Amino acid sequence: MSILAKAVATAIDSLLPELESIYMDLHEHPELSMQEFRTASIAADYIEQLGFEVTRNVGVTGVVGLLRNGPGPVVMLRADMDALPVTEATGLPYASRVTAKDDDGVEVGVSHACGHDLHVTWLMGVSRLLAGHRDQWQGTIMVVFQPGEEVGRGARSMIEDGMLERFPKPDIVLGQHVMVGMAGTVGYRSGAILSAGDSLKVRLFGRGSHGSQPQTSIDPVIMAASTTLRLQTIVSREISPHDSAVLTIGALQAGTKENIIPDEATLKLNVRTYDEDVREYMLGAIRRICCAECVASDAPREPEFTTLSSYPLTVNDAAATSRVGGTFANWFGSRAYETQPAAASEDFSVFGRSWGVPYVFWFVGATDPEVFTQASKAGKINTIPSNHSPKFAPTLHPTLRTGLEAMICAASSWLESGGESH
């Protein structure tokens, strides 16, 4: 049993009302990726008052807080802060009505449809609990509020801003994500827990012409159609049935008018994989097929590839996960379970990868138990609004408490040991 978690349990009760109002305020004031100025300053001010050494504007809006409490391991706890360009449709009294300009200058509705407002609230609460119970642990806590997870840039921008040189190297990096699942539960697993996600834009070049004179054109519409179909054969014909991958072409654009053959076509595609070799293979095969289709059409130029985003695999360290899992099992009992890997991606692992240290990431269920049980009985879990849906609405209780307990339990697996192995 985590002594620390036990010690803070009653403190959580008195902290919940404050955290609830912080959460609702953050929820009502979401900010797009790499624009999290208000959120970052709320988090930074809060932990500064608790006695953390605070560094602001790391990688644009990132915040790093250090609380040194004697010799022992350095434990990094991470929360992402950004919201999504999604118009909220939850009908909650504290729903967002915010609009903002995205990177292309387009006015969009903004909301915390991925629940990062809860991640920020949890980490603020955990900071307070740890600061208030310094007699129960030793070591150094490093809390990190990260920008731009949804665009896959935030963690890298913090690293590029000198994170590795400016702050102590952690012994362990810990993070959690709110998800569809029975509220009050935590799901964890050793090994790959989140897929790698790669998004590419591919421009295919042809030669425009009058629609009545195809012989004078090189038709990029045909090239794009043929490429689209052929790309779908990578997973079905080239990947072993023991491996898995997803390839989705989410955008296919060419032309303006029925009697004009356009100059070029654009594909935007997304790839999810659970294994580094499969990922490399998929990316190579995509290039090969796009290039070959262009040759087949006698295209005037090779296709142009642009990486839109690239999320690495999230692979939980086996030894570190068994430490965390042991503490979870003791504290949560049957409410802690081994989860399947999710076909979602995160840039959380960038920190652990860059420092070359183990990391553990887990899920916290946020669906009202009644709703979840009903949906589960009816075989309709897929109908519960998930992360990124305009209707995604985590139930606050007990989710708020569960996330605090999970983070405290996980951190205590290092902080109570003073750096020794169990």
In the complex, the residues that contact Zn ion under the rule CB under 5 A are 114
Q: Which is nearer to Zn ion, 273 or 387 (CB)?
A: 387
Q: Which is nearer to Zn ion, 244 or 389 (CB)?
A: 389
Of 196, 199, 206, 250, residue with least CA distance to 228: 250
State in angstroms the smallest separation of the CB of 225 from Zn ion.
Answer: 31
Q: Which is nearer to Zn ion, 273 or 314 (CB)?
A: 314
Element (H, E) at 370: helix 369-377
3-state secondary structure of 174: strand
Q: Which is nearer to Zn ion, 114 or 222 (CB)?
A: 114
Residue 295: is it exposed, middle or buried by C-beta count within 10 angstroms (0-12/13-18/19+)?
exposed
Element (H, E) at 268: strand 264-273
Residue 62, φ and ψ in degrees, nearest 5 = -65, 150
Q: How many residues does the chain have?
A: 422
Q: Which is nearer to Zn ion, 114 or 200 (CB)?
A: 114
Q: Which residue has the tokens 């644009």?
A: 60
State in angstroms the smallest separation of the CB of 139 from Zn ion.
Answer: 28
Residue 315: is it exposed, middle or buried by C-beta count within 10 angstroms (0-12/13-18/19+)?
buried
State in angstroms the smallest separation of the CB of 268 from Zn ion.
Answer: 18
Q: Which is nearer to Zn ion, 114 or 271 (CB)?
A: 114
Q: Which is nearer to Zn ion, 60 or 364 (CB)?
A: 364
H helix intervals, 234-306? 276-296
Q: Which is nearer to Zn ion, 120 or 245 (CB)?
A: 120
Q: Which is nearer to Zn ion, 149 or 317 (CB)?
A: 149
State in angstroms the smallest separation of the CB of 346 from Zn ion.
Answer: 7
State in angstroms the smallest separation of the CB of 197 from Zn ion.
Answer: 11
**CA–CA distance, 244 with 5 (Å, rounded to integer):** 38
Written as six digits, the tokens of 289 are 């097929």
3-state secondary structure of 98: coil
State in angstroms the smallest separation of the CB of 348 from Zn ion.
Answer: 9
Which residue number places its CB atom closest to Zn ion?
114
Written as six digits, the tokens of 112 are 């915390």
Q: Which is nearer to Zn ion, 83 or 224 (CB)?
A: 83
Written as six digits, the tokens of 183 are 């509220």
State in angstroms the smallest separation of the CB of 186 from Zn ion.
Answer: 16
State in angstroms the smallest separation of the CB of 344 from Zn ion.
Answer: 7
**CA–CA distance, 311 with 181 (Å, rounded to integer):** 24
**CA–CA distance, 141 with 18 (Å, rounded to integer):** 22
State in angstroms the smallest separation of the CB of 177 from Zn ion.
Answer: 6
Helix%, strand%, coil% for the chain, nearest 5: 40, 25, 30
State in angstroms the smallest separation of the CB of 17 from Zn ion.
Answer: 26
**CA–CA distance, 356 with 260 (Å, rounded to integer):** 54
**b (16+ CB within 10 A) / e for 380-399:** eeeebebbeebebbbbbebb
